[in-house]
Amino acid sequence: MRLMILGATGGIGRLLVSGALEEGHEVTAFVRSPEKVSQKSPRLRLVGGDLFDVQQMAAAVRDSDAVISGFGPSTLRTTTLRRDFGHAVVQAMRVTGVRRLIHVTSAFLFQDGGALIALFGGTLFRNVVKDHVRSEAEMMQPDLEWTMVRPPRLVDQAAKGRIREVAGHLPKGGTVISRADVANFMLKEAVAPHYVRQVVGISD
C-alpha cells in the first residue's frame, strides 16, 4: 500500500514508519523537520512542510491509499492545535480524493472508561480532552472513511501483540498499552479495515 504518515517524528509516528516499511509498504512522511526522521529506505519519501497548510499537505497526500496520523502535541495547556490539524487533514484529503483516514486520539474521550479515565480526563488532561473532541469532530466527515483509535495510557515497551479492541468503548479494565501495539493496530486497520467510520478503544 501507499501510506501517508503524519506525526512521523512522534512516539507512535516513528513506529508507524518503521512498521510500515517492515511490512513492505510505500511510505510518505510529511513532517516539519525531515532531518528528524532517522529511518532510511528506498520506499520512504520524506516531505517537509507545514502540518497546518492544506496545499502543502495535499501535495504530499496525493496518490496515497490511506492517511495514518500519529499527530499529538504534548502540551497540557489550552490549545486548538489538534482541531486545526484535523481541519487541514480533511481539506487536504478532499482536494486529492484520498478517503481513508486512521487517527489516534485518547481513551479520555470515552464516557464509560472508568473512574481513573474520568478523573484525569476532567482535571489534568481536561484541555487535551477538549482539543481531541474538536479534532475528532473535524475528522468524522461522512465523505471520508475514518477510524478514530482511542488508547489509554501509552508506554514505551515492546509490542505484546495481544491487543483488545472494542468498537465504541474502552476494553473493560483497560488502563495501558504500548505505543508499539498502537502502531501495529493502526497499520493492521489500514490493510484490513474493520472499523470504518467508527471509534475503537484498544488496550493490552
pLDDT of res. 31: 94
> What proportion of the chain, given as a percentage, has pLDDT over 90?
82
Label residue 169 by pLDDT band (50, 70, 90). Answer: very high
CA–CA gap between residue 17 and residue 158 (Å, rounded): 16
Is the model's pLDDT at 171 over the cut of 80?
yes
105 three-class SS: coil
What is the tally of structural domains in the chain? 1
- The 10s digit of each residue's pLDDT in 115-152 is 777 776 777 778 888 999 999 999 999 999 999 999 99
Whether the Cβ atoms of residue 120 and residue 70 lie closer than 8 Å to each other: no
- The 10s digit of each residue's pLDDT in 22-70 is 999 999 999 999 999 989 999 999 999 999 999 999 999 999 999 999 9
Dihedral over alpha carbons 76, 79, 81, 87 (to 10 degrees): 130
* Joined grid coordinates for residue 127: 484541555
Q: Give residue for cell 501535495.
A: 59
Is the model's pLDDT at 76 over the cut of 90?
no
Q: Give residue for cell 469532530.
A: 137
pLDDT of res. 70: 96
Domain of 94, CATH number, reads 3.40.50.720
102 three-class SS: strand
Residues in the chain, total: 204
DSSP one-letter string for 84-135 = HHHHHHHHHHHHHT--EEEEE--GGG-TTS-HHHHHHHHTTTHHHHHHHHHH
CA–CA gap between residue 43 and residue 192 (Å, rounded): 21
Determine the structural domain holding residue 41 and report its residue range.
2-203
Residue type, 73: P
In this prediction the pTM is 0.94
